[in-house]
Amino acid sequence: MNVIFLGATKGMGRALARRFAERGDAVFLLGRSEENLDKSAQDLLARGAPKSGHAYCDLERLEGFADALDAGIATLGSVDCVVVTAGLFATQDELERDAVLAARVLQVNFSNTVVFCEAARERLLAAGGGTLCVFSSVAGERGRKPVVLYGASKAGLSAYLEGLDHKFRAQGLKVVTVKPGFVKTGMTDGLKPPPFAGEPDEVAGIVIKAIDRGDPVVYAPGPWRLVMAVIRRLPRAVMRRVGF
């Protein structure tokens, strides 16, 4: 496959990009740091990617989305899959204290990511179809005390991705929504890992299989599907008393 990847220079994204490279997929990287992009592109070539390159793309700058995607298509020759793992995270306490930060998280994780996905959708459909894989979160499954604001941003994103899949699957666009639970990356440094916490490479293996199958929703690690099935069914009275 020819893959354009936003957010592949660290953490979960880096593990998934390496999986693509190791099986021989070409990967074009989008991100904010020229240094990190170049290092990551060279790493992917060393791991087996037949082609790699990179371009600047910042989820806080909508005006650059189209040019970044077009640069990837020009380098790869075509695009089969667009992957988005980029986003912002902060704890609920941090977001309650800092309204500016809260606005950034909500905008980047929801509205700006949607605008990027719309640009990717147009290009994939123009090429006859393909896969759009976007990382949302189990935090968006239900309103919960520890992730009120972050969870709201991911809930909106998940709803958009579901609607996109319903509308365009018949036209050849496969939308894969990834809902990770707690994964041990730089984003979660300093947070106490809950049961079923995952490692980046483990989650990457689950996700790449879901991309190949075109699964509309994937939970990773797997036990989170059952965990969230229980949480979705808890009465509000219970949710108000518990701390998760």
Tens of pLDDT along 49-69?
999 999 999 999 999 999 999
**Mean pLDDT to the nearest integer, 193-213:** 83
Q: How many CB atoms lie within 10 A of CB 223?
A: 13
Domain of residue 207, CATH code? 3.40.50.720
* pLDDT bucket at 224, cuts 50 / 70 / 90: confident
Cis amide bond preceding 221, omega within 30 = yes
- Contacts by residues 190-199 (CB-CB < 8 Å, ≥ 24 positions apart): 191/91, 196/221, 196/223, 196/224, 196/227, 197/221
The region of weakest confidence among 66-70, 103-107, 209-213, 221-225 is: 221-225
CB 6 within 8 A of CB 14: no
173: enclosing H helix or E strand: strand 173-180
pLDDT at 201: 86
pLDDT at 159: 98
* pLDDT bucket at 193, cuts 50 / 70 / 90: low
**Mean pLDDT to the nearest integer, 172-177:** 98
| Token code pair at residue 77 | 């020759």
150 carries an active-site annotation: yes
pLDDT at 198: 61
**Mean pLDDT to the nearest integer, 103-115:** 98
Q: How far is 75 from 89, CA to CA, in rounded Å?
A: 31
Q: In terms of residue numbers, what domain contains 90?
A: 2-241
Q: What is the dihedral of CA 69, 73, 75, 79, to 10 degrees?
A: 120
| Token code pair at residue 142 | 């239900």
Number of domains in the chain: 1
Catalytically annotated residue among 56, 150, 160, 219: 150
The whole-model pTM stands at: 0.92
